[in-house]
């Protein structure tokens, strides 16, 4: 198909971002502490440190996979240097968003009354909303891109990455202030 390689190179960062947005370990990480949450809360560690460590686990899982996958996509698709840069930046921004969004949801919808870890991982409200919200937040720009003909791919990806980074900054501020208090109150 003529022009398909350019189209694929333009939306590849968003496709990788969809996969990153579906990999949220933080949406159930606080709830998994269950009845043992008091142990973490009794340690001489601030609630912020606990929250950042849970986000760091999610980023430790996602960022190396994004680096390898995006490197392979750069080699195969051969986008221009700006397109190659966004193959790394956009999914990384979505990874940060996913980690922070999952933490906020787990603070809003904690579940400590589970009897089986599978229930809190696969059947909790926070996990469902994080998975669905993450997917929709990454699929929406793909749909928008196809409905805005003539937009330069680099400009569109820059705007998408900037919006996701701004939302992540807002989530970060929420977690630093209100989120830390919510965790301390659990």
Q: How far apart are CA 169 and CA 97, in angstroms?
A: 9
pLDDT of residue 1: 66
d(CA 162, CA 141): 12
Q: Are 146 and 122 in contact (CB under 8 A)?
A: no
- CA torsion angle 115 119 125 170 (round to 10): 90
| Backbone angles phi and psi of 125, in degrees to 5 | -65, -45
Q: What is the pLDDT of residue 9?
A: 80
Q: Confirm if 73 and 12 have CB atoms less than 8 A apart.
A: yes
- What's the token pair of residue 104? 């906020």
Contact 19, 73 (CB under 8 A): no
Print pLDDT tens along the chain (186 aa).
Answer: 676 777 888 899 999 999 999 989 999 899 888 888 888 888 898 989 999 999 999 999 999 999 999 999 999 988 889 999 999 999 999 999 999 999 999 999 998 888 888 888 888 888 999 999 999 999 999 999 989 888 888 999 999 999 999 999 999 999 999 998 999 888
Count CA within 13 A, CB hemisphere, residue 24.
Answer: 33
- pLDDT at position 56 is 95
């Amino acid at each position: 198909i003529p022009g398909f390689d350019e189209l694929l190179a333009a939306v590849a960062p968003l496709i990788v971002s969809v996969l990153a947005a579906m990999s949220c370990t933080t949406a159930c990480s606080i709830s998994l502490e269950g009845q043992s949450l008091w142990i973490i809360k009794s340690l001489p560690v601030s609630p912020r440190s606990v929250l950042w460590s849970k986000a760091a686990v999610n980023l430790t899982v996602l960022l190396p996979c994004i680096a390898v996958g995006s490197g392979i996509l750069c080699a195969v698709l051969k986008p221009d240097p700006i397109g190659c840069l966004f193959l790394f930046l956009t999914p990384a921004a979505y990874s940060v968003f996913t980690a922070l969004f999952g933490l906020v949801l787990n603070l809003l919808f904690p579940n400590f009354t589970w009897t089986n870890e599978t229930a809190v991982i696969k059947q909790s409200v926070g996990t469902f909303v994080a998975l669905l919200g993450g997917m929709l937040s990454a699929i929406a720009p793909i749909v928008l891109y196809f409905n805005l003909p003539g937009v330069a791919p680099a400009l569109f990806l820059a705007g998408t990455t900037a919006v996701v980074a701004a939302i992540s900054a807002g989530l970060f501020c929420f977690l630093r202030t209100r989120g830390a208090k919510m965790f301390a109150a659990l």
